[in-house]
Amino acid sequence: SKMPDLQGKTVLDIGCGTSILSLFAARAGAGKVIGVDRADIIDFARKVVSVNGLDSVVTLKKGKLEELEDIGQVDVIVSEWMGYFLLFESMLDTVIFARDKWLKPGGQILPNVATMYLCGIDDGERVDFWDNVYGFNMTVIKEAIYEQGLWEPMVEVVEGDTVVTESATIKVIDIATVAKEDCDFTSTFHLPAKRESMC
């Protein structure tokens, strides 16, 4: 997709961390960049901004965004707000707060859309762990996992060959219009199997 025009714009970087998105915005021609983070990493980020000679464009503020004084209207909001499985422990609430309070009409939010997908995997190694746990036979647990569905959700990277179903889109979130309540949802989906599996 087309890169947004940041020339001369005021940009708010939410959860700026090391300030990398603030630096990219400045490099893309933003007239003013305000980065906000409540973590101590911002102390190092200030040095990063200085070392790169961008003090005149990038201002970093430490604190919880919702508790900061009015920062004024902004043209663009950037944030790496995504949490585990997109919404768990995410900063989307903070992005929504900033959007509603400081984003000018017609302003941009980057990223502007988030899509959640779901697919089934078969990772037999994870279940085979129960065959021998530090020398103890715990296959009873393995059997219960299969028979009673005692699976717990996990967030991790898996190999492509463990995917055993088609993927399904379960939620599309337009960041420009989403409300906090929209993030508590149910979704009907189908995961057609691509091959036989224990999942």
- Report, as residue numbers or ranges, the catalytic residues: 80, 89
How many distinct helices (H) and strands (E) make up the chain?
5, 7
Q: CB 14: neighbour CB atoms within 10 A?
A: 23
Alpha carbon distance 181, 169 (integer Å): 19
The answer to whether the CB of 77 falls within 8 A of the CB of 95 is: yes
Q: Does the N-terminal peptide bond of residue 153 adopt cis geometry, omega within 30 degrees of 0?
A: no
Whole-number Å distance between alpha carbons of 38 and 155 = 25
Rounded CA-CA distance 25/134 in Å is: 51
